[in-house]
A = this chain, B = another copy of it.
Amino acid sequence: MKKLINDPADVVSEALLGIAAAHPDLGVDHQNKIVYRADAPVRGKVGLISGGGSGHEPLHGGFVGPGMLDAACAGEVFTSPVPDQVVAATRLADGGAGVLHIVKNYTGDVMNFEMAAELVTADTGVEVASVVVDDDVAVQDSLYTAGRRGVGTTVLLEKITGAAADEGRDLAAVADVARRVNAAGRSMGMALTSCTVPAAGQPTFDLPEGEMEIGIGIHGEPGRRRVPLAPAREVAEMLVEPVLSDLDFTGGDGALVFLNGMGGTPMLELYLMYNEVAKILQKAGVTVVRSLVGPYITSLEMAGCSVTVLKLDDELLRLWDAPVSTPGLRWGR
């Protein structure tokens, strides 16, 4: 295993020390492994928190800041945060208007966020709403999930919902925006290589030279099928076709296309893939009005990519364009 680490057991806590050192606008609760806005809680604003296993950076800690999340809990690599962390993050984010939990649909995450919501409401009376992201069209159930997995749409949902919270809407309205984003987003991913979890010390799975996995999960969970390597234009078809056949993306106010890198794929390849995806969408009559290209929800150093398409209306588009200031996404301020 070749990694820039010290002891594998300390990877997450030492990375959090680095986040704290690099970003003075963020606070870090090292005991509970929480990244939060240094000015949290924001009085009167609905608090937004998320979290999950580490190894998907910049998701979620890199999306904490004005216009996006108020706090994010970091589990161990590819391991759900425990309820105590979520409770502590909820309290940090509570500015008196309630807190929205944004949860990717993995069994451990869903269970631990639910338990935390019950605990924190019982203890403190904080009002909590939850949205579960389940946008991955690849498989119905999988290794860690009942139902679809939560993947790329999570990034877009955190951004758009963060803008809605910034506008001063109440908890029910903010949760409604989040659910609308989840309902309008679909994703599909693929891998050329496995990644290596530091504590495991060896690749999560074996993917021979000459083969790739279509429909991969962000923890290396099996996808739909293993196929021989193919040119980018065919890979793009394999990812976009299942997305388009799951939801009609034509009409409305156009679509946002998110071409995500899994961590080990160069930007040169991501842009090349974006070109292939854009051509297919154009042919299918989907009007792309916004795009995002880069590694935003990763699987450590896995080589591969995912495609997320989000159907927009004028409100979601306006909220996407609103200012945001986080380490991972920043514009307009």
Residues of chain A having any CB pair with chain B under 8 Å? 2-7, 11-12, 14-19, 21-23, 54-55, 57-58, 62, 77, 192-193, 209, 212, 229, 231-233, 235, 259, 263-275, 278, 288, 291, 293, 295, 298, 300-301, 303-305, 325, 327, 330-333
CB of B18 within 8 A of CB of A265, answer no
Residue on B nearest A23 in the bound complex, by CB: B291
CB of B267 within 8 A of CB of A58, answer yes
Complex Cα distance, B322 from A324, in Å, reads 17
Question: Contact partner of A268 among B15, B235, B332, CB < 8 A?
Answer: B15
Q: Give the shortest distance, in Å, between A47 (CB) and chain B (any CB).
A: 24
CB of A19 within 8 A of CB of B271, answer yes
Q: Which residues of the other chain, B, contact A193 by a CB distance below 8 angstroms?
A: 2
Complex Cα distance, B268 from A110, in Å, reads 24
Q: Give the shortest distance, in Å, between A76 (CB) and chain B (any CB).
A: 11
Q: A232-B6, A235-B4 are in contact. Are A57 and B266 (CB under 8 A)?
A: yes
Q: Which residues of the other chain, B, contact A22 by a CB distance below 8 angstroms?
A: 259, 271, 274, 278, 291, 293
CB of A272 within 8 A of CB of B18, answer yes
Complex Cα distance, B315 from A108, in Å, reads 50
Q: Which residues of the other chain, B, contact A265 by a CB distance below 8 angstroms?
A: 4, 301
Q: Which residues of the other chain, B, contact A235 by a CB distance below 8 angstroms?
A: 4
Q: Give the shortest distance, in Å, between A198 (CB) and chain B (any CB).
A: 9
Question: Contact partner of A266 among B229, B259, B301, CB < 8 A?
Answer: B301
CB of B330 within 8 A of CB of A4, answer no
Q: Give the shortest distance, in Å, between A304 (CB) and chain B (any CB).
A: 8
Question: Contact partner of A272 among B11, B288, B305, B333, CB < 8 A?
Answer: B11
CB of B5 within 8 A of CB of A272, answer yes
Q: Which residues of the other chain, B, contact A12 by a CB distance below 8 angstroms?
A: 268
CB of A269 within 8 A of CB of B5, answer yes
